[in-house]
């Protein structure tokens, strides 16, 4: 039985994804991702800092997601909600687990290291913010250009040059999110707002290009049999291939 | 910064414009589906998004509602990556709160508030890239978003920031021109009647020059109005044709 | 949630109508300001400024700090405004309201952004040590026109303040205490003054120095910061009334005139204080307290113009009648009777005999029915209490045989009030 969803897709089809990079001049790297109607913008800014004594030579990478009241009438103005905090933590975990940016690459000289802030803002919320945020973060990081820093030996003066070098991103962990409903346990990929709202449970699978599983995220929800889980991982593998292809194409179009 | 001349001898500014020329304005209406009205505007390198929700029932405490007019709730937020130096607090710091207040005062004068008593209109503005003239661009974006949401306005509200160098008023100043000091006049105007809704001035300006600067600022606003009006008409024509010709 | 100020509509309407007739409640002209007083405290940099009933206290302090990376040779100035709850029931302690933010920004623009203080003169060692000034402005009483009062007090305190003398010898920096070296004044380029106007009648009428009630009734407010050299330091027009360019010119002209007067006044006050200090006279608030100048509630007598009453023959007759009637109603003075209830208990003023027709409490039901029959008590929507005097013919008192009769009769002689107020006789 072929199941058709409210927007005409079948269970295993994702919405149209559009990525745009480098639009924001004030940030070192930026990306805008549109998945269906969900719109996410990401900006990467860098500051110089001294590394921690217990991890000398390791830079810092901090990811933060913001869900402002602009994106959906459900969100009220005020301090970051639980949802935005938990997704921020999810993104930070992916960065650490996958090693997409090696922290020792961010060191400049001696104690001086880069501290990168990846700020993600959701502009329109139509479900599945996690996938779009991960894509935006990857697109922004792959196209981040940091200025070359030289420290003069005599007086320790820090010089920021105009020349830019691209940040080395070792891998690209891509997330695929599934939801399943109460009744028959139909699993659907890339949920829209209504589907996410009515779901009995959510499942996010993060994979890397070499095929390894970076993170499996199933926050509570209705129990899922093993067979369905394996099926989801297999589907995630094939869908992630499309995302890697998309990211590569976008990066190639960026003029160095 | 020594050696940077805001106005060269031939009368050109740092980015090659003439003193009375605006930056390139590109705008789009109806960018979001969730919001009742939305708009995206690019004025040079300043990129601003505006979303309008409403009019809807009072959210939060019902006692805040006004019995004779609508409550306008504004929020001005700058993305942390929007400025040269990373902004630690996107909203809630004093400058943002002041901007929020100014936006609210501006639109209270422009929206026909008496039509929706005991209701609330939310105006959210997000600055994605700041390159001078933040407030003016926000006002222009919010006007388009309000038009997109179908909220009745007395007139468009167009705003423009004007600087003053070498006895010449310069329209639509960029971030570099702002930071080099000098007086700045921000004006929000209802273009058809040339009535001033909000006027902000910083730094010192001699009284005798006020008239000149004010006149140039209002003229700048009227130029912005022409562009916004065209965008609105195109958008409406597009929507009307896609809805159907019955 | 910040409380909103609620004013009665009739009060607002009254103010609006008065302004239309070119009058103000306290008798001032439309462009007349209230009396301004500047008092200096004992410590340098402490100033209390009063404008009518509005009072603002400000204090300047300084400390050494690192300069900002972008401006290594400039000191910094930070302005902090406290709207303390004692100033107005609307202010909440610790929470910044819209008014607080507006006031802080007005002062920042007026003082900091207009380069009133010479920041380069605050540099001690370039790139390492500079003086950072802090101006704390406390609003003590809010009766309108906070911007002007706060600006005057902040600027006066900056003029009044003296910073410690500093000597730099190579890398060593020594700060001299007050006993060693006289502290030196700050170098100020100009004296900015903020002037507030309230707009009425679609911007046609402008009143200067509005009180709180006038501010709340107004359609919009204009704050203009000007200095004596005719330079506009800042301008903020907000509110619901759109304005024309020509109207803006008018405010600026009015503001410039006011600024001249205020600048002169500040200078005179500063000179006066200097003279007092140098001649070792008593300075500070203590001096003013001695002369009973600062009180909890200060009322300065003001002349109020009252137009003479219009005299016409018909009206005088009616007023005479009213006068006569009041004579009749006031009862003749009688001797006060002290009543003894029991040991150690006495009382005065049990109420006395009732002026109304005596009514038996036990037959209330009959009264109400008879009243309904005879009198049409029509209640309008507006009047909440319809007071109707019942005459003897309206009431039909029926005598009933009951045990309570005797007691009732006793009660009757005393009217509505029971004889035994506190003991027995239930």
DSSP string, C175-230: EPPTTTS--EEPPBS--EEEEEEEEETTTTEEEES--HHHHHHSSEEEEEEEETTS
Q: Report pLDDT digits (tens) over A204-215.
A: 999 999 889 999
Query: Are C227 and B200 within 8 A, CB to CB?
Result: no
Residue A189: is its pLDDT beyond 70? yes
pLDDT at C425: 38
Taking the CA of residue B243 and the nearest CA in chain C, the distance in Å comes to 37
Q: Could you report how far apart the first and last alpha carbons of chain C are, in Å?
A: 52
Where is pLDDT greater, at B67 or C367?
B67
Whether residue A21 lies inside any domain: the answer is yes
In the predicted model, what is the mean pLDDT of chain C? 75
pLDDT at C179: 78
Confidence of residue B1 (pLDDT cuts 50, 70, 90): very low
Q: Report pLDDT digits (tens) over B125-151.
A: 999 999 988 999 999 999 999 999 999
Residue A89: is its pLDDT beyond 90? yes
Check CB contact of B82 with chain A, cutoff 8 Å. yes
Report in angstroms the alpha-carbon separations of A225 from A188, A222, A230, A238, C366.
15, 10, 9, 21, 84
pLDDT at C337: 58
Check CB contact of C1 with chain B, cutoff 8 Å. yes
| Percentage of chain C modeled with pLDDT above 90 | 16
Q: Report pLDDT digits (tens) over C66-121.
A: 888 888 888 889 999 988 888 888 888 776 778 888 899 899 988 888 888 888 88
Q: Report pLDDT digits (tens) over C6-42.
A: 778 899 999 999 999 988 888 888 888 998 989 888 8
Where is pLDDT greater, at C73 or C367?
C73
Backbone phi and psi for residue B215, each to the nearest 5 degrees, phi listed first = -60, -45
Please name the member of B34, B84, B126 whose beta carbon is closest to the beta carbon of A72.
B34
Contact list in B for residue A25 (CB cut-off 8 A) is 45, 129, 131
Check CB contact of C236 with chain B, cutoff 8 Å. yes
Both structure tokens of A150: 């030289």
pLDDT at A84: 93
pLDDT at A162: 78
Query: Are C114 and B101 within 8 A, CB to CB?
Result: no
Residue B158: is its pLDDT beyond 90? yes
Contact list in B for residue C227 (CB cut-off 8 A) is 204
Please name the member of B81, B90, B126 whose beta carbon is closest to the beta carbon of A24.
B81
Chains that touch B (3 or more CB pairs under 8 A): A, C
pLDDT at B190: 92
Domain ranges within chain C, ordered by starting residue: 9-289, 299-349, 368-413
Contact list in B for residue C72 (CB cut-off 8 A) is none
Residue C419: is its pLDDT beyond 60? no
Contact list in B for residue C229 (CB cut-off 8 A) is 206
Structure ipTM: 0.81
Q: Report pLDDT digits (tens) over B72-116.
A: 999 999 998 888 878 777 777 888 888 898 999 899 889 999 999
Check CB contact of C235 with chain B, cutoff 8 Å. yes
Count Cα atoms within 13 angstroms, Cβ side, for C271.
6
Where is pLDDT greater, at C221 or C290?
C221
Residue A155: is its pLDDT beyond 60? yes
Confidence of residue C185 (pLDDT cuts 50, 70, 90): confident
pLDDT at A61: 92
Q: Which domain holds residue A120?
A: 17-251
Residue A11: is its pLDDT beyond 70? yes
* Architecture label for domain C9-289: 2-Layer Sandwich (3.30)
State how beta strands A174-180 and A158-166 pair: unpaired
Interface size, chain A vs chain B, as Cβ–Cβ contacts under 8 Å:
76
Interface size, chain B vs chain C, as Cβ–Cβ contacts under 8 Å:
92
Summarize the confidence of residues C126-131 as an average pLDDT: 85
Which of A210-219, B44-53, C117-126, C331-340 is the least confident region? C331-340
* Domain CATH code at residue A223: 3.30.230.70
Confidence of residue C295 (pLDDT cuts 50, 70, 90): low
Please name the member of C101, C115, C244 whose beta carbon is closest to the beta carbon of B94.
C101
Question: Chain C residue with minimal CA distance to B96?
Answer: C101
Where is pLDDT greater, at C220 or B40?
B40
Query: Are C239 and B109 within 8 A, CB to CB?
Result: yes
Do B107 and B142 meet the contact criterion of CB atoms below 8 Å apart?
A: yes
Comparing CA positions, the residue from C75, C76, C67 lying closest to residue C127 is C67
Report in angstroms the alpha-carbon separations of C369 from A46, C299, C363, C365, C384.
89, 56, 11, 6, 22
Burial label for C194, CB within 10 Å (0-12, 13-18, 19+), is: buried
Which of B57-66, C157-166, C211-220 is the least confident region? B57-66
Where is pLDDT greater, at B240 or C294?
B240
Query: Are B200 and C236 within 8 A, CB to CB?
Result: yes
pLDDT at C329: 43
pLDDT at C318: 42
pLDDT at A233: 93
pLDDT at A52: 84
Check CB contact of B53 with chain A, cutoff 8 Å. yes
pLDDT at C426: 33
Check CB contact of C57 with chain B, cutoff 8 Å. no
Confidence of residue C388 (pLDDT cuts 50, 70, 90): low
Taking phi over 0 as left and psi of -120 to 50 as alpha, with beta for the rest, A119 belongs to: beta
Comparing CA positions, the residue from B23, B71, B31, B70 lying closest to residue B49 is B31
Comparing CA positions, the residue from C141, C39, C132 lying closest to residue C83 is C141
pTM over 0.90: no
Residue B181: is its pLDDT beyond 60? yes
Query: Are C242 and B196 within 8 A, CB to CB?
Result: yes
Backbone phi and psi for residue A107, each to the nearest 5 degrees, phi listed first = -80, 150
pLDDT at C317: 44
Q: How many domains does chain A have?
A: 1
| Cis amide linkage into residue B55, ω under 30° from 0 | yes
Summarize the confidence of residues B11-27 as an average pLDDT: 88
Whether residue A196 lies inside any domain: the answer is yes
Check CB contact of B131 with chain A, cutoff 8 Å. yes
pLDDT at B206: 87
Summarize the confidence of residues A10-31 as an average pLDDT: 89
Both structure tokens of C306: 């009252």
The enclosing H or E element of A216 equals: strand A213-217
Question: Chain A residue with minimal CA distance to B47?
Answer: A24
Check CB contact of B176 with chain C, cutoff 8 Å. no
Query: Are B82 and A45 within 8 A, CB to CB?
Result: no
Check CB contact of B238 with chain C, cutoff 8 Å. no
Q: Report pLDDT digits (tens) over A94-148.
A: 999 998 888 888 888 778 888 999 999 999 999 899 999 999 999 999 989 998 8
Where is pLDDT greater, at C400 or A158?
A158
Q: Report pLDDT digits (tens) over C143-155.
A: 889 999 999 999 9
pLDDT at C348: 59
């Amino acid at each position: 039985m072929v199941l058709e969803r409210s927007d005409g897709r079948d269970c295993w089809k994702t919405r149209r994804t559009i990525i745009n990079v480098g639009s924001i001049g004030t940030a070192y790297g930026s990306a805008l991702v549109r998945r269906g109607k969900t719109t996410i913008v990401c900006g990467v800014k860098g500051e110089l800092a001294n590394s921690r004594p217990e991890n000398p030579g390791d830079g810092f990478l901090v990811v933060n997601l913001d869900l402002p009241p602009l994106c959906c009438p459900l969100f009220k103005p005020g301090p970051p909600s639980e949802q935005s905090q938990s997704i921020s933590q999810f993104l930070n975990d992916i960065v650490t687990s996958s090693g997409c940016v090696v922290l020792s690459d961010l060191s400049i000289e001696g104690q001086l290291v880069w501290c990168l802030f990846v700020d993600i803002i959701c502009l329109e919320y139509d479900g599945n913010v996690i996938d779009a945020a991960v894509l935006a973060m990857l697109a922004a990081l792959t196209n981040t250009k940091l200025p070359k820093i030289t420290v003069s030996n005599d007086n320790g003066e820090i010089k920021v040059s105009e020349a830019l070098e691209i940040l080395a991103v070792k891998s690209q962990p891509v997330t695929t999110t599934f939801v399943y409903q109460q009744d028959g346990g139909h699993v659907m990929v890339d949920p829209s707002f209504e589907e996410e709202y009515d779901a009995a449970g959510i499942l996010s699978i993060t994979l890397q290009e070499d095929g390894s599983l970076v993170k499996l995220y199933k926050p509570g929800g209705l129990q899922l049999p093993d067979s369905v889980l394996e099926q989801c991982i297999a589907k995630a593998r094939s869908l992630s291939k499309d995302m890697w292809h998309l990211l590569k194409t976008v990066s190639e179009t960026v003029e160095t | 910064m020594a050696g940077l001349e805001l106005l060269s001898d031939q009368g050109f500014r740092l980015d090659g414009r003439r003193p009375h020329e605006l930056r390139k304005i590109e705008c789009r209406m109806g960018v979001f589906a969730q919001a009742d009205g939305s708009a995206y505007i690019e004025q040079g390198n300043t990129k601003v998004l505006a979303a309008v929700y409403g009019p809807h029932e009072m959210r939060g405490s019902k006692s805040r509602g006004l019995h004779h007019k609508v409550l306008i709730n504004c929020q001005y937020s700058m993305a942390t990556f929007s400025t040269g130096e990373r902004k630690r607090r996107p909203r809630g710091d004093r400058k943002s709160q002041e901007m929020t207040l100014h936006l609210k005062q501006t639109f209270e004068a422009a929206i026909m508030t008496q039509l929706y008593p005991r209701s609330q209109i939310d105006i959210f503005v997000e600055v994605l890239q700041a390159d001078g003239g933040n407030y003016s661009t926000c006002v222009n974006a919010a006007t388009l978003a309000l038009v997109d949401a179908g909220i009745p306005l007395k007139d468009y509200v167009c705003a423009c920031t004007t600087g003053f160098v070498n006895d010449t008023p310069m329209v639509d100043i960029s971030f570099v021109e702002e930071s080099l000091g000098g007086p700045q006049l921000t004006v929000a105007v209802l273009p058809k009647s040339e009535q001033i809704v909000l006027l902000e001035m910083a730094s010192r300006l001699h009284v005798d020059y006020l008239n000149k600067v004010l006149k140039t600022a209002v003229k700048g606003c009227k130029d912005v109005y022409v562009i916004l009006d065209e965008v609105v008409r195109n958008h409406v024509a597009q929507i009307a044709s896609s809805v159907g010709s019955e | 949630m910040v409380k909103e100020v609620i004013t009665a509509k009739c009060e607002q309407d009254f103010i609006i109508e008065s302004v239309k007739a070119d009058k103000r409640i306290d008798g001032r002209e439309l462009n007349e300001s209230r009396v301004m007083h500047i008092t200096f405290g004992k410590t340098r940099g402490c100033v209390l400024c009063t404008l009518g009933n509005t009072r603002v206290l400000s204090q300047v302090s300084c400390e050494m700090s690192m300069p900002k990376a972008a401006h290594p040779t400039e000191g910094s100035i930070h302005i902090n405004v406290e709207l303390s709850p004692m100033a107005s029931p609307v202010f909440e302690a610790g929470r910044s309201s819209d008014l607080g933010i507006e006031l802080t920004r007005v002062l920042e623009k007026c003082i900091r952004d207009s380069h009133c203080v010479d920041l380069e003169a605050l540099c001690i060692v370039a790139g390492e040590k500079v003086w950072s000034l802090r101006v704390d402005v406390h609003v003590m009483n809010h009766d309108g026109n906070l911007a002007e009062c706060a600006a005057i007090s902040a600027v006066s305190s900056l003029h009044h303040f003296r910073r410690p003398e500093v000597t730099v010898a190579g890398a060593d920096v020594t700060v001299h205490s007050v006993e060693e070296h006289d502290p030196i004044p700050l170098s100020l380029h100009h004296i900015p003054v903020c002037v507030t106007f309230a707009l009425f009648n679609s911007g046609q009428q402008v009143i200067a120095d509005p009180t709180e009630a006038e501010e709340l009734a107004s359609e919009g407010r204009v704050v203009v910061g000007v200095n004596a050299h005719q330079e506009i330091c800042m301008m903020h027009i907000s509110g619901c009334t759109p304005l024309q360019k020509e109207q803006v010119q008018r405010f600026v002209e009015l503001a410039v005139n006011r600024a001249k007067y205020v600048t002169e006044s500040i200078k005179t006050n500063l000179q006066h204080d200097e003279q007092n200090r140098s001649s070792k006279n008593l300075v500070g608030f203590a001096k003013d307290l001695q002369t009973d100048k600062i009180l909890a509630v200060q009322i300065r007598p003001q002349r109020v113009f009252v137009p003479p009453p219009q005299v016409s023959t018909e009206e005088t007759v009616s007023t005479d009648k009213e006068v006569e009637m009041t004579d009749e109603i006031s009862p003749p003075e009688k001797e006060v009777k002290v009543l003894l209830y029991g040991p150690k208990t006495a009382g005065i003023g049990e109420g006395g005999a009732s002026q109304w027709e005596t009514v038996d409490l036990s037959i209330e039901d009959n009264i109400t029915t008879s009243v309904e029959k005879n009198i049409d008590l029509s209640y309008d929507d507006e009047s909440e209490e319809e007071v109707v005097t019942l005459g003897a013919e309206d009431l039909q008192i029926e005598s009933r045989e009951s045990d309570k009769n005797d007691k009732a009769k006793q009660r009757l002689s005393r009217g509505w009030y029971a004889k035994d107020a506190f003991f027995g006789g239930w």
